[in-house]
Amino acid sequence: MTVAARLLALLTALCTVGPAAPAAPPPNPLQVALVCENSSIQPGKPFLAGLLLQHPRSYHSYWRFPGIVGVPTRLKWDLPQGWKAGPIQWPTPERVFMFKIKAQGFHGQTLLPVEITPPASLQPGSPIRLAATASWMCCGRDCNPGFEKLELQIQTSATAPEPNPEHSRAFAMAKASLPETLSGWKVESRKSGNSVLIEVRPTDGEARKQFARMESAQFFTEDGLTDPNRAETVRRTAEGLLLELAISEFAPQPLPKELRGVLVTPSGWLPGHPGRGLLVRVHLD
């Protein structure tokens, strides 16, 4: 066969080969599941279900307000007639990084609880299907948006439910991580130029004991008034902690009259108390 004939045969083969099948998208790194706190439910009695998130090492998803990057995780419920679902009960957030940008989210295993109320007319003894669509953004070395339709089968009973042994620890940890309002601490805030100043002071003996061993705190904004990506300063005073945070260029306009967010300290706010998140709802002077 001549060189020309071989070239012609090669060109014919290339032109007759069909296009390659598109590569399948890589699996989303975040594992999600719809889970229930109890092994059964009672008619008319609220219970906790939730979205269980399993983040691979070095990956994270986002809190109710992520910051200047990211998308919060969401749940859209598809419940039977007469059922009600409350909002996500957000655990205390962590500082996460999308590349070098600081944001607000979660690592590791995280459970986002939701209170579900079945109708009082529910008949015991029948299994119930609960469904929801979860959507999220999971970031690490890359960012992966995702959504998935999830289902949960649960039995109804006339007797008090037993805890679900498979997920009881995850729900206990989620409850312990919910931000709280604590009477032993007073929080005040005010604007100063382009900053927000937050002063948090102990007001009783137990809180003062904890303050003596407290080294730092971080503020997580719920509405974007402050910028999580900007440096914040924390200073100990004779009476408490003073935090200074930059007002975000994307802050709501006009600026809100109330500071909303969570103050987090690694050592916790009270001796022997597991909660690291102090819920902040204070007037902004």
Q: Using 50, 70 and 90 to split pLDDT, how confident is the model at 274?
A: confident
Q: What is the pLDDT of residues 175-228, one digit of tens each?
A: 999 999 999 999 999 999 999 999 999 999 999 999 999 989 999 999 999 999
CATH no., domain 185-283: 2.60.40
Distances 228 to 18, 95, 124, 207 between C-alpha atoms, Å:
51, 9, 48, 27
pLDDT for 2 beyond 90: no
Say which CATH architecture domain 31-176 belongs to.
Sandwich (2.60)
Condensed to tens digits (0 to 9), the pLDDT of residues 34-74 reads: 999 999 999 999 999 999 999 999 999 999 999 999 999 99
| Residue showing tokens 């001796």 | 271
Cα 285 from Cα 283, distance rounded (Å)? 6
Among candidates 244, 232, 233, 238, which has minimal Cα distance to 201? 238
Listed by start position, the domains of the chain span 31-176, 185-283
| pLDDT, tens only, 105-138 | 999 999 999 999 999 999 998 889 999 999 999 9
Is the separation of the CB atoms in 241 and 208 below 8 Å? no
- CA distances to 112, 118, 183 from 266, in Å: 21, 38, 19
Q: What would the mean pLDDT of 265-276 be, rounded to a whole number?
A: 93
For the segment 8-17, the average pLDDT, to the nearest whole number, is 35
d(CA 256, CA 191) in angstroms, rounded, equals 11
- Tell me, what's the pLDDT at 26? 57
Q: Report pLDDT digits (tens) over 233-265.
A: 999 999 999 999 999 999 999 999 999 999 999
What pLDDT does 18 receive? 40
pLDDT at 102: 97
pLDDT, tens digit (0-9, with 9 covering 90-100), for 136-166: 999 998 999 999 999 999 999 999 998 999 9
- In this prediction, residue 28 has a pLDDT band, given cuts at 50, 70 and 90, of confident
Residue 20 has pLDDT above 50, yes or no: no
